[in-house]
Amino acid sequence: MTDINPLAERLRPRNLDEFIGQRHILAPDSPFMAQFLGGRLTSTIFWGPPGTGKTTLARLLCRHHGLTMHELSAVNATLSDVRKVIDSRTPLLNPQAVLFLDEIHRFNKAQQDALLPAVETGDVILLGATTENPAFSIIPALRSRVRLVEFHAFSVEDLIAGLSRAVTFLSKERRCETDADDVLEPLAILSGGDFRRALGLLDELWAATAPADGKKTLAREVLDRILPSFVVRYDRASDEHYNHASAFQKSLRGSDPQAALYWLAKMLDGGEDPRFILRRLIVTASEDVGLADPQALVQAETALRAFEHLGMPEGRLAIAQAVLYVATAPKSNAVIEALGDASGRIAKGESYPVPLHLSDAHYASAADLGRGIDYVYPHKSGSARITYLPDKLADAVFYRPKSPAERERMLKLQTFLTSHHRLPPQAPAHVETVRAWLTAHRPEWIRTEDLAAELVLTREEVYAALRELELQGFVVLTPGAKVEYPQQF
């Protein structure tokens, strides 16, 4: 006997005892169960991946309360269909209409707005189901009037339990002894947390397996043959698009090349636009690698150009190469923090005009207005170093190197500036920098190279500062890099 209804429909739970998974929802002390077992039903939107029991739980909820549930799909339903449900109410027998609206995210803003009055007055109990994050797909006014219940993808253990029950059901339905021990776990893993998909795979495997001596042995070899008809579950237009992009970018940031390649492969195999992936890669190269390895940005940008030339499938290799480079590169978020600090100062009101010596002086009357007079062209060796920030931000530090490569880069810059330019006549600021560091840490031993790297100064500047502090009586430098503190400071 063959039933025309899908296996998932024939096995749909009739009560909570038959419902698998979603323990966070069905726990006896959960807010949802308090509603379920109580006498009052409120408007609720179920959201989560497909095949996780949203429709089933809505039906069980209505059955428990003895209510008739009117089911519509937002894919093809109109506001006229919704009004018919609302008008089906009768004051005595059916004072509230229960509307189950599947794929509720498909309703546009105007259609969702039209639901508000009936939900607000309680004339309609709205039970919605969506695979999209309500924060993005449901208007705020409607979200504020309903309870949001999140469903999770089924665990492998839950799916194995459900598949085992399905095999028992099929054996009784078809009156056939069945051995499925070798395929339950592979089926659970391949379904990606979607019980409906797991049952679809099982149903196809059952149909592809011929009985022998009144017994069906569901084998992994047969399962492997039918797998090409099933594709990666990845919807590039849904909330999962952003979840996968987040996992990909966080794997890059966390320096895990294995995970980065996995999420890359899943997105590519699911039909994601490679340009979107490459844009995320370029962002990561600046945000999370930065000057710790400037080549990361070059690799990511080059991969984009290579993909534009090669297309698919060859372009996948260039993308994978760049992904591995960024994932294995040393990390530093100094660039994004530096820009954020500068923007933060401006946001607090520290927006100052351009100093006169830095102002544009490419017109005849500029000198008469004082513009550009004290500017020093820096390519002239031995020229004085001037300030490039407004006076009130003269001591501001936005960029703070974090990685060894960044600190080495800054040390080279300081060496270059020291050898090519003379400092302004005022007392060097690095003397106070070294004094503040010694005050805070009071080390017994010190190496000028280490302190220079810590404070982003040159070795010569640190040595000069220590000698100046010794002259002032703050420290005594003894042979062997030992530091004594004759005064309390």
Q: What is the pLDDT of residues 327-337, one digit of tens each?
A: 999 999 999 99
The pTM score is 0.57
- Cβ neighbourhood burial of 156 (10 Å; 0-12, 13-18, 19+): middle
Nearest to 170 by CA among 182, 162, 178, 161: 178
Residue carrying structure tokens 């089924």? 154
* E-strand stretches of 140-250: 147-150, 177-179, 215-217
Q: Where are the domains of the chain?
A: 22-150, 156-229, 239-328, 404-484
Q: Are strands 421-422 and 476-478 parallel, antiparallel or unpaired?
A: unpaired
Digit-by-digit pLDDT tens for the chain (489 residues) are 456 688 888 889 988 888 988 988 888 888 888 777 776 788 999 998 889 999 999 998 888 888 888 999 998 888 888 888 888 777 656 667 889 999 999 999 999 998 998 898 888 899 999 988 888 889 999 999 999 999 998 988 999 999 999 999 988 888 878 888 888 888 888 888 889 989 988 988 888 888 877 788 888 888 888 775 555 555 555 567 778 888 999 999 999 999 999 999 988 887 788 999 999 999 999 999 999 999 999 999 999 999 988 888 889 999 999 999 999 999 999 999 999 999 998 888 888 888 887 788 777 676 666 677 777 778 777 777 788 888 888 778 888 888 888 888 888 888 888 877 765 544 466 788 888 888 888 888 888 888 888 888 877 778 778 777 776 677 777 766 677 766 554
Longest dimension (CA), the chain: 106
Residue carrying structure tokens 């069980």? 60
What's the CATH architecture for 239-328?
Answer: Up-down Bundle (1.20)
- Do 404-484 and 22-150 fall under one CATH topology? no
Q: What CATH code would you report for 404-484?
A: 1.10.10
Q: How many CA atoms lie within 13 A of 300 on its CB side?
A: 26
Q: Are strands 44-47 and 124-130 parallel, antiparallel or unpaired?
A: parallel
CB 461 within 8 A of CB 479: no
Which one-letter amino acid corresponds to residue 281?
Answer: L
- Which tokens hold the place of 286? 């600046």
Q: What CATH code would you report for 156-229?
A: 1.10.8.60
For the segment(s) 22-150, the CATH number from 3.30.2040.10, 3.40.50.300, 3.50.50.60, 3.40.50.2000 is 3.40.50.300
Q: What is the pLDDT of residues 99-124, one digit of tens each?
A: 999 999 999 999 999 899 889 888 88
Nearest to 384 by CA among 411, 428, 417, 433: 417
